[in-house]
Amino acid sequence: MSLRTRLKSKEIVVAPGVYDGLTASLAEAAGFEALYLSGAAVAYTRLGRPDIGLTTASEMADTMMLIADRTPLPVIIDADTGFGNALNAQRTMRLYERAGASALQIEDQSYPKRCGHLADKSLISAGEMVGKIAAMADARATENTLIIARTDAIAVEGFAAAEDRAGAYLEAGADVLFIEAPQDRSQLEQIAARFGGRIPLLANMVEGGATPITGAQDLERLGFSIVIFPGGIVRALARTAQDYYQSLATHGSNKPFAERMFDFNGLNGVIGTAEMLKTGARYDGSDS
């Protein structure tokens, strides 16, 4: 089922953040219907750097291809600002679509961007963003590839301006609206009241961010169609990795940490090593 078709259902889509084939496969095994490839998560894991526009389109596309090779689930990919003007946004659309993305999220920050929950962001004009949305719509190979239009205007121009920008992006042809970093529940409710029923709405849950953490079912009742948890997996793994390395440095052994990690056979079971070897044997004749 395409993501576009799935969004016709009233049930909210919960899309956890992933950043490689392993996290994508684990999320699929947990039963999720869609995934979110976070630019922040790629910056955190591949670069060990903050989300301030350092990742490139090619790094994201390479990551997208590896995830698409590992799971058939639809993936929403963070396209940042489109990496430039409208022509760059068209190229990003073609690149990510060929890599296997089901939806591209593009935002109205200036380039280079920064995390939506960091201060001191700056925006392009609403008119320029409208042009990027139209350009991406013209460039996509299929209408099943969704355009998610994000505005970061709440922190820069205020809530009313953010709503106005979102309305313009809806009229420009966006398939989903994403008003980033509502500051309280009242703003979440106002977004849903104004746009719910007209277009699918996306909410972003960032632990420690500007928006109060709200559960999926609550967001569904408000009128949101998608909720993403983009960086949660990195925060969880970074905390675990920090504890792991400290334990190994202290003890010179993994024994004290053994209950918090897979052993060799356990990890091979999770990633399906035996099944892959069996499949390979079918083609090389070694099972006959």
Give, in order, the Cα–Cα distances in Å from 210 to each of 44, 183, 219.
Answer: 19, 6, 16
pLDDT of residue 111: 78
Sheet with 226-229: strands ordered across: 176-179, 146-151, 103-107, 75-78, 35-37, 13-18, 226-229, 202-204
Domain-by-domain residue ranges, the chain? Answer: 3-231, 238-284
At 88, list the tokens. 């760059």
pLDDT of residue 53: 87
Per-residue pLDDT of the chain (288 residues; tens, 9 = 90+): 899 999 999 999 999 999 999 999 999 999 999 999 999 999 999 999 998 889 999 999 999 999 999 999 999 999 999 999 999 999 999 999 999 999 999 999 987 776 656 666 789 999 999 999 999 999 999 999 999 999 999 999 999 999 999 999 999 999 999 999 999 999 999 999 999 999 999 999 999 888 999 999 999 999 999 999 999 999 999 999 999 999 999 999 999 999 999 999 999 999 999 999 999 999 987 655
**What whole-number distance in Å separates Cα of residue 173 and Cα of residue 248?**
53
Residue with tokens 């809530």: 159
Q: DSSP 3-state assignment of 147? A: strand
**What whole-number distance in Å separates Cα of residue 48 and Cα of residue 41?**
9
Query: What contacts 186, CB < 8 A, 6 or more positions away?
Result: none
Superfamily designation of domain 3-231: Phosphoenolpyruvate-binding domains (3.20.20.60)
* Segment (H or E) for 166: helix 159-172
